[in-house]
Amino acid sequence: MRLYGTDIASRLMLGTAQYPSPAVLAEAFHRSGAGIATVSVRREAGGERAGGAFWDLVRELGVTVLPNTAGCHSVREAVTTAQMARELFDTTWVKLEVIGHADTLQPDPFGLVEAARILTDEGFNVFPYTTEDVVLADRLLGAGCEVLMPWGAPIGTGLGLTNIYGLRTLRAQFPDVPMVVDAGLGLPSQAAMAMEMGYDAVLLNTAVAKAGDPAAMADGFARAVEAGRLAFEADPMEPRDMAAPSTPVIGKAFLE
């Protein structure tokens, strides 16, 4: 998988929040083989480096870091947070979140496009957290984004892919754009479904961090992502409305 000119070995991305302990977080990443870790800038304190221990832990994971603007509800807040992230993590990559609705955590489409345009003009490589809306996707690409991250369901719900039609339509509309299903996944089977639809990767956090055994769940998601990608690349059969015998009937013995 190639994102903004960088090769990423794994198609599974994991968040770093809500784990019961640093040791559990590290083991989950080890079992998952995840290639990217998302990190909230709010874990770091610019002057005193209060989040220094956490940052040391993330660096020890040996994965690519994708800072995010989680919790930002305005363009100004998101842009400022992204600028902080660039200084703290020494990267131009940023997962852009501009939240528009407090209950569903749905992105603000207008603020998202505006913030994406500002950040790309400043040299950022923007990974926008968006919905499956095709028009919004087109606007984000026009603003300079080269990757899209549509949600499967609202953040932290575990509902899976709530709008399969919309996700299929989005994937078909922009076949050459790298896309990551981000948020709302609860089970490995849901990740496999996203990969079977042709999505390039999945990003999740709560489903692993809040599992009874986060490391085992991370392992399950890793296998599901691999299986789903293999199925997509194998060009699966089209579903049919009528049964079709899998055993040939020509030459079958019969009685008169």
Contacts of 142 (CB under 8 A, 6+ apart): none
Q: What is the pLDDT of residue 41?
A: 80
Terminal CA-to-CA distance of the chain, rounded, Å?
Answer: 60
Report the pLDDT averaged over residues 3-23: 94
Q: What is the pLDDT of residue 54?
A: 78
pLDDT in tens, 185-198: 999 999 999 999 99
pLDDT in tens, 142-180: 999 999 999 999 999 999 999 999 999 999 999 999 999
CA distances from 72 to 46, 85, 102, 220 (A): 17, 13, 11, 31
Instruction: Look at 248 and 184; give whichever has higher pLDDT.
Output: 184
The reply, when asked if residue 206 is annotated as ligand binding, is yes
The reply, when asked if residue 184 is annotated as ligand binding, is yes
Say how far apart CA 128 and CA 95 lie, in whole Å: 6
Cα atoms in the 13 Å half-sphere on the side-chain side of 33: 12
Q: What is the pLDDT of residue 178?
A: 97
Q: Are 183 and 151 in contact (CB under 8 A)?
A: yes
Say how far apart CA 240 and CA 32 lie, in whole Å: 35
The reply, when asked if residue 156 is annotated as ligand binding, is yes
CA distances from 115 to 120, 128, 153, 174, 240 (A): 9, 10, 22, 22, 45
The reply, when asked if residue 183 is annotated as ligand binding, is yes
Q: In the chain, what is the greatest distance between 2 CA atoms, to the nearest angstrom?
A: 91
Confidence bin at 19 (pLDDT 50/70/90): very high
Average per-residue pLDDT in the chain?
92
Q: Are 202 and 232 in contact (CB under 8 A)?
A: no
* Nearest one of 60, 72, 66, 69 to 26, comparing CA atoms: 60
Cβ atoms < 10 Å from Cβ of 167: 23
Partners of 38 in the β-ladder:
15, 66
Residues designated as active site: 95
Which stretches does DSSP call E strand in the chain? Answer: 2-3, 6-7, 12-15, 36-40, 64-68, 93-96, 125-130, 149-150, 180-182, 201-204
Total length of the chain: 256
The reply, when asked if residue 125 is annotated as ligand binding, is no
Q: For the chain, what percent of residues have pLDDT higher than 70? A: 93
Q: What is the pLDDT of residue 15?
A: 94
Instruction: Look at 110 and 252; give whichever has higher pLDDT.
Output: 110
For the chain, which domains are there? Answer: 2-234 (3.20.20.70)
Report the pLDDT averaged over residues 67-73: 93
Q: Are 231 and 21 in contact (CB under 8 A)?
A: no
